[in-house]
Amino acid sequence: MFMSRRDFVVSTALAGALGLNAKLAISPAFAQQTPDLAKGFLTYKIGDAEVTALHDGIWEKPHDPAFIANASIDDVKAAMVKAGLPPDFVSIPFTVVVVKNGGRTILCDSGTGGQVQPTAGRMMANMKAAGIDPAKIDTILISHFHPDHIFGLMEKGTNAPVFPNAEIVVSDVEYKFWTDPSVFDRLNEARKGLAKRIQTVFPVWKNIRQVSGEPEVAPGIRFVNAPGHTPGHRAFHLSSGASQLMISNDTAYVPALVVANPGWHGQYDQDAPLAEASRRTLLDRMIADKVLICGYHFPFPGAGMISKDGDGYALTGIKA
Ligand SMILES: [Zn+2]
């Protein structure tokens, strides 16, 4: 169904050879329909901490009846419309956050590295546009090991480290799950290549630190257990003075769907009932504590406030 990354490169090269604008030469089924952002970064303050949201791109996911186990495609389309989004596909943006706090420059997940969807891979360009030198990133927090969150750590083809001088902090549960030699028996076909790449790369790197539980992992930032999406999935809680931000990662990945309908079980939630429980706990905490939340797949700039809305929740986003 999808044009693969390689097909995309070929068609772009072909377009170049023909002197065409690459965008025009891509098949209409593939071309990005979401308008590009005028500015792919936004900086805001949480107390003394400086937070910068970086747009990495978007996946316009074609509808698939398997995507939400307990909702139909019509239900999904209606939810997209209710959130003010086009119904023709599921909008899944990728937004990486950089936090500057306590003298550290902390990258929260690493983007797609241009290796997940042809319409994503802009994090580095937007980081530079935001005035952040990638060489100055000294800490990287990883929420979980899905490709859109870790492929930005490794170069395409060679797996060379993109941030060799940064300390990469991961949950020990997540690390052990993916590097267990028997994990292949517990994964569906689509995830086996991912586990193979992780097992090839991470054990060789010397700059990965595994942590247990919910410790402070960087100045003002704690891991928060939010399992289900993957076994060791973590949110990151930033606190500075009286201000807080819950960097929720994929706990409520597409808010139009699972913030509004927290009981919907997504195909990418490895343990969907556990993911639902983590989601409800986190969203209830946001309401009780009245603090800002951001999410890796929330509409850019990806931050907002949660409120109760009928049987579900609503996200009121801040404006870019
Ligand atoms: Zn994700």
Q: What band does 3 get if pLDDT is binned at 50, 70 and 90? A: very low
Q: What is the DSSP letter of 215?
A: -
Q: How far is the CA of 158 from the centre of ligand 1 (A)?
A: 23
For residue 76, report the distance from its CA to the centre of ligand 1, in Å.
18
Give the contacts of 112 (CB within 8 A, at least 6 positions apart).
Answer: 56, 57, 94, 120, 121, 123, 147, 148, 151, 152
Distances in whole angstroms, Cα of residue 183 to Cα of each of 175, 231, 296:
11, 12, 26
Share of the chain above pLDDT 70, in %: 90
* pLDDT of 22 higher than 50: no
| pLDDT at res. 157 | 94
Are 2 and 27 within 8 A, CB to CB? no
Q: Ligand 1: distance of its center to the CA of 239 in Å?
A: 23
Residue 6 pLDDT: 35
CA of 248 relative to ligand 1 center, distance in Å: 11
Kindly state the average pLDDT of the residues 5-13: 35
Summarised one tens digit per residue, pLDDT across range 300-320 is 998 999 999 999 999 998 876
Q: In the predicted model, is pLDDT for residue 16 greater than 50?
A: no
> What tokens does 198 get?
């992780």
- Across the range 8-15, mean pLDDT stands at 34
Beta bridge partners of 45: 50
Ligand 1 midpoint to CA 296 (Å): 7
- Gap from CA of 119 to ligand 1 centroid (Å): 15
Measured CA angle at 222 (ends 291, 124), to 5 deg: 85
> What pLDDT does residue 302 have?
87
* d(CA 149, ligand 1 centre) in Å: 6
Which ranges of the chain does DSSP label H, i.e. alpha helix? 5-17, 22-25, 73-82, 123-129, 147-150, 172-179, 189-201, 255-258, 272-289
Burial call 11-25: b when 16+ CB within 10 Å, e when fewer: bbeebeeeeeeeeee
* Segment 251-296, tens digit of pLDDT: 999 999 999 999 999 999 999 999 999 999 999 999 999 999 999 9
Instruction: Grade residue 193 by pLDDT with cuts at 50, 70 and 90.
Output: very high
Q: How far is the CA of 16 from the centre of ligand 1 (A)?
A: 32
Q: Quote the pLDDT of residue 11.
A: 35
Mean pLDDT along residues 38-52: 96
Q: Which two three-digit tokens encode residue 293?
A: 């939340």
Give the separation between CA 304 and CA 299, rounded to whole angstroms.
Answer: 10
Going by pLDDT thresholds of 50, 70 and 90, the confidence category of residue 38 is confident
- Count CB-CB contacts under 10 A for residue 207: 13
Take residue 24 and report the two structure tokens written for it: 């025009």
Separation of 231 CA from ligand 1 center, angstroms? Answer: 14
Q: Is the model more confident about 163 or about 24? A: 163
- What's the CA-to-centroid distance between 100 and ligand 1, angstroms? 23
- Which stretch of 20-24, 48-52, 183-187 has the lowest confidence by average pLDDT? 20-24
Mean pLDDT throughout 129-147?
A: 98
**Confidence bin at 32 (pLDDT 50/70/90):** confident
User: Residue 130 — pLDDT band, cuts 50, 70, 90?
Assistant: very high
CB 267 within 8 A of CB 69: yes
Stretch 49-68: mean pLDDT: 96
Tell me if the bond preceding 301 is cis, omega within 30° of 0. yes
Q: Which of these, 187, 115, 166, 175, lies nearest to 144 by C-alpha position?
A: 175
